[in-house]
Amino acid sequence: MGKITVEACGIEGLKVITPAVFGDARGYFYETYHYEAYKEAGIDDIFVQDNQSASRRGVLRGLHFQIQHPQAKLVRVIKGEVFDVAVDLRPGSATYGKWHGELLSAENKKQFYIPKNFAHGFLVLSEEAEFCYKCTDFYRPGDEGGIIYNDPDIGVTWPIPEGMELILSEKDTKWGGIHSIER
């Protein structure tokens, strides 16, 4: 269809999507989501909720997952730049505990598709960032789990610039490692 380009990430199911952007002297246009194009690319999910957050430089959100009601997510950045991470938590997966990170920005317009049963998080690299994502299930209070962002058993290489002070929520400082997850 020519609307998107899809790259595999070395972990089955994870995909980086780059949309076709049409620009001229007035600005640009692109489709942020087109069901048929994504279905052709192997993403046949029905998204039921859209979320948006704003964060400042140094904010690290995650690594979060849903316990009883897992969500697939399609994430993108509409302002600024983040390093986005997904960790495979699928029971029995050959890549369980492996991670992939992707630089998402308003400039590159890339999207990151994260299937169900992955932990997800991101680090804001720009002064500010606005982050948008589609989910395949509704948010349910009390259904969120997490893994500490610097779990040595996962070994995410966060691109933390020298002098950057990380800003985490209280709950994100208290998560255990991947081996503390009850599955």
Return all residues near 170 (Cβ < 8 A) that are at least 6 apart. none
Q: Does the pLDDT of residue 183 top 90, yes or no?
A: no
- The domain spans of the chain are 45-180
Top-tier CATH class for 45-180: mainly beta
State the average pLDDT over residues 115-125: 98
pLDDT computed for residue 1 by the predictor:
42
Q: Is residue 91's pLDDT more than 70?
A: yes
* Assigned token pair, 92: 């029995």
Integer CA distances (angstroms), 3 to 17, 39, 74, 151, 160, in order: 10, 12, 16, 37, 33
How far, in whole angstroms, is CA 146 from its chain's centroid? 14
Q: Is residue 141 pLDDT above 70, yes or no?
A: yes
Q: Is the pLDDT of residue 60 over 90?
A: yes
Q: What is the DSSP letter of 95?
A: T
| Catalytic residue IDs | 64, 133
